[in-house]
Structure 1
Amino acid sequence: MDKQKILAIVGPTGIGKTSLSVWLAKRFNGEIISCDSMQVYKKMDIGTAKVTKEEMEGIHHELIDVQDYDEAYNVKVFQEKCRKAIDDVVKRQKFPILCGGTGLYLKAALYDYEFQEEKEDEAFKSYLDSKSNEELVKMLEEQDRKALEKIHPNNRKRLIRALQICHSGTSKSEQEDKQQHIPLYDVYFLGLDVDRNILHDRINKRVDIMFENGLVKEVEELFSNPQTWEYTSFQGIGYKEFKDYFLGEKNLDEVKTAIKTHSRQYAKRQYTWFKNQMPVHWFEAQDRDEIYDAVKEWLSHADK
């Protein structure tokens, strides 16, 4: 039996994935499933550059505004929701187009990723919380050196997570090695590329527009209470930078500069991730005729 064909549009923040996804959906009877870890949150519209009703141009979108911003969202939840959304789109006899820059979410949904159910050992978690980042790195070096290759030494959350997995009896690397990383669908990964200077300029302008459109008001209404700074939703670029502003340590111009810098750095990481993790077909973002022809040709071939 042929696998379901799925188009996945990937690439860095600010490159024009949303616009292209709508353009292609109109030409191939498609519906769009968002693979963005921030656009799932209700009320978080400006800082996530959430697609507007006007930008949708009548095309149905899934997995946007599906989560309250005070509730945690993670890759396992996304995997379940995304696979169900794919089934729903197919039942409506539409072509599924996945669009977004959160690479791990895409991979988890489209490949044979399995997540282990684990009971948290509270005592061990407290023990890890008492350790410095340097101590956590040293522990992980001893228990799962391979996992460290993918974790930044300052990413405390991921260091603790990897050590918790080791504590459960199987290392993170062993869990990953057991999985074959085979796509569950016939996927065409369509990547958008553009000159870096042009991309950086677009990112900077987009942040300026967010501020003009009321980003400060949006963030103040959602996150001015210090209790909200622990929310998963607040950790996104475009929001977390406001913490220093709320603390009176930075002014709005400094916040804006930080968002631009972090967005450009994130774009670089996205390129690296997609180029290393997926068999992406790269196109210049403006070459829509070439993109259309490539998708049309791929759709005309049955999955081998």
Structure 2
Amino acid sequence: MDRKKILAIVGPTGIGKTSLSIRLAKLFDGEIISCDSMQVYKQMNIGTAKVTEREKEGIPHYLLDEQEYDEPYNVMIFQTKCRDAIQTIQNKNKLPILCGGTGLYLKAALYDYEFEEEQEDTEYTAYLHSLSNEQLVELLKQKDEKALEKIHPNNRKRVIRALQIAHSGKNKTQREEEQCHEPLYDIFFLGLDIDRDILHERINKRVDLMFKEGLVKEVEELFSDPQTWGYTSFQGIGYKEFKEYFEHTRTLEEVKDKIKVHSRQYAKRQYTWFKNQMKVHWFDREDEGQIVKSVKEWLYE
């Protein structure tokens, strides 16, 4: 087996990537790196569906509980830590298995993706934050219209980021076109697929289970203070929906329904992203026999 190979398990939220990663790690002597932008935060366990110690079945996991929930985390930090973890696992002559649904994090770690350090123009940033979502989108149309093809107009954070990049001299599209984004490793992208109705049912049941396991208490302990609502960690699905609950404008049942809707929408975006950005080998989630066979053939080819 060539230990420079890397297995990356991708797919939508709620499809069962974690359980499959543990099964494959046991079969192929692997260790697992989480590629989830929310599971890096300590104390945020239920809302992120973080794997438990019992569920790990003794398999070492990396990049879980790395960051305090009140500290910022970004793709550049992840890129460095993930590549370090890959090297650590390879030094042990084991197979690195990356598992998660945060596509940009995965791509940044596995491809020759470079980030430019830049000084933020605080005055311009303050100006952007003063604009409405509609005004931001109109401004981005003027500065970098192509960027809007990859950014949802309601994703205020990403629209502002694209405008900051454009303001720095080169727009987001130009920077991406200048980078060829070639893979740094021999990677097998294993994508999990399932009937959409079944996936939506799984997502809904998972959200129901989160509430039964104590999601409300977890969120209240971390984010009941309005000063915490600006934290990067609070922007994740399963947490941000509680803002209106804390403001007494939304019931817990409405919060639960919102989380389900946002999770299903996120799953759709994940499918689109992975199908457009990477050469993924897609498998029926229920056909583990074929999955194991294909991974084995790739490892020993």
Q: TM-score range by the shorter chain?
A: over 0.9
In the other structure, the counterpart of 1:223 is 223
* SS class of match (2:107): helix
Question: How far apart are the structure 2 equivalents of 1:272 and 1:143?
Answer: 25
One-letter code aligned to 1:179: Q
**In the alignment, is the contact (CA less than 8 A) between 1:112 and 1:183 conserved in 2?**
yes
In the other structure, the counterpart of 1:51 is 51
In the other structure, the counterpart of 1:131 is 131
Question: How far apart are the structure 1 equivalents of 2:221 and 2:283?
Answer: 39
Is 1:60–2:63 an aligned residue pair? Answer: no
In the other structure, the counterpart of 1:162 is 162
In the other structure, the counterpart of 1:91 is 91
**In the alignment, is the contact (CA less than 8 A) between 2:111 and 2:181 conserved in 1?**
yes
Report sequence identity in percent. 71
**In the alignment, is the contact (CA less than 8 A) between 1:3 and 1:186 conserved in 2?**
no
Is 1:255–2:266 an aligned residue pair? Answer: no
Please report the TM-score for the alignment, with normalisation by the length of structure 2: 0.97
* SS class of match (2:32): strand
Is 1:149–2:149 an aligned residue pair? Answer: yes
Is 1:176–2:172 an aligned residue pair? Answer: no
**In the alignment, is the contact (CA less than 8 A) between 1:29 and 1:95 conserved in 2?**
yes
One-letter code aligned to 1:161: R
Unaligned runs of 5+ in 1: none
Question: How far apart are the structure 2 equivalents of 1:61 and 1:40?
Answer: 11
Deviation sequence 1:224-266 (CA, Å, 0-9, x none) = 0011111111111111111111111111111111111111111
In the other structure, the counterpart of 1:8 is 8
Deviation sequence 1:132-154 (CA, Å, 0-9, x none) = 32222222222211112112222
Question: How far apart are the structure 1 equivalents of 2:128 and 2:65?
Answer: 34
Runs of 4+ deviating beyond 3 Å: none
Question: How far apart are the structure 1 equivalents of 2:3 and 2:212?
Answer: 45
Kindly state the Cα deviation for residue 201 of structure 1 after the two structures are TM-superposed: 0.9
One-letter code aligned to 2:179: Q
Question: How far apart are the structure 2 equivalents of 1:13 and 1:127?
Answer: 35
One-letter code aligned to 2:64: I
Kindly report the root-mean-square deviation, in angstroms, between the aligned alpha carbons of the 2 structures.
1.2
Matched residues, number: 300
Kindly state the Cα deviation for residue 169 of structure 1 after the two structures are TM-superposed: 1.1
One-letter code aligned to 1:95: L
Question: How far apart are the structure 2 equivalents of 1:144 and 1:115?
Answer: 19
* SS class of match (1:32): strand
**In the alignment, is the contact (CA less than 8 A) between 1:86 and 1:96 conserved in 2?**
yes
In the other structure, the counterpart of 2:276 is 276
One-letter code aligned to 1:21: S
* SS class of match (2:229): helix
Question: How far apart are the structure 2 equivalents of 1:78 and 1:272?
Answer: 22
One-letter code aligned to 2:296: K
Deviation sequence 1:164-208 (CA, Å, 0-9, x none) = 111211111111111001101110000111111111111111111
Kindly state the Cα deviation for residue 3 of structure 1 after the two structures are TM-superposed: 8.7
In the other structure, the counterpart of 1:23 is 23
Q: Which moved more, 1:217-226 or 1:154-163?
A: 154-163
Question: How far apart are the structure 2 equivalents of 1:241 and 1:140?
Answer: 27
In the other structure, the counterpart of 2:140 is 140
One-letter code aligned to 2:291: I
Unaligned runs of 5+ in 2: none
Please report the TM-score for the alignment, with normalisation by the length of structure 1: 0.96
Question: How far apart are the structure 1 equivalents of 2:151 and 2:194?
Answer: 28
